[in-house]
Amino acid sequence: MNPRSLLLHAYVYAVLVFILLPILVILPMAFSETTYLTFPPQGLTLSWFGDFFTDSRWMASTWFSVKIAVLTAITTAVVGTMATYALVRGANAMGTLFQAFLIGPIVVPHIALAVALYLFFQNAGLSGTTLGYVLAHSVIAMPFTVFTVAAALTSVDPALEDAAMSCGASRFNAFRLVTLPIILPNVISGALFAFIISFDEPVIAFFLAGIRDKTLPRMMFDDIEQNLTPIIPAIAVLLTLLSILVLLAAAVLKHMADRNKGAEGQ
- Looking only at residues 65 through 104 of this chain, which bind other proteins when binding is defined by CB under 8 A? 75, 78-80, 82-92, 94-96, 98-104
As measured in angstroms, the least distance from the Cβ of 50 to other proteins is: 20
How many whole angstroms from its chain centre is CA 265?
31
Q: Does 234 bind other proteins (CB under 8 A)?
A: no
DSSP string, 88-141: HTT-GGGHHHHHHHHHHHHHS-HHHHHHHHHHHHHHHT-TT-HHHHHHHHHHHH
Choosing from 125, 177, 228, 261, the residue that interacts with other proteins (CB under 8 A) is 228
**Region near other proteins per CB under 8 A, out of 18-26, 43-51, 55-63, 65-73:** 18-26
Q: Binding marks (x or -) toward other proteins, 150..179, rule CB under 8 A?
A: xx--x---xx-xx--x-----x--------
Please state the length of the chain.
266
Exactly one of 12, 46, 59, 177 binds other proteins (CB under 8 A); which one? Answer: 12
Residues 177-196 that bind other proteins (CB under 8 A): 189, 193, 196
- Give the span between the Cα atoms of 9 and 108, in whole angstroms: 37
Instruction: Report the distance separating Cα 188 and Cα 55, nearest Å.
Output: 32
Separation of CA 16 from chain center: 24
Among the listed residues 68, 69, 117, 188, the single contact to other proteins using CB under 8 A:
117
Site string (119-148) toward other proteins, x via CB under 8 A:
xxx-------------xx-xx--xxx-xxx
Under 8 Å between Cβ of 72 and 194: yes
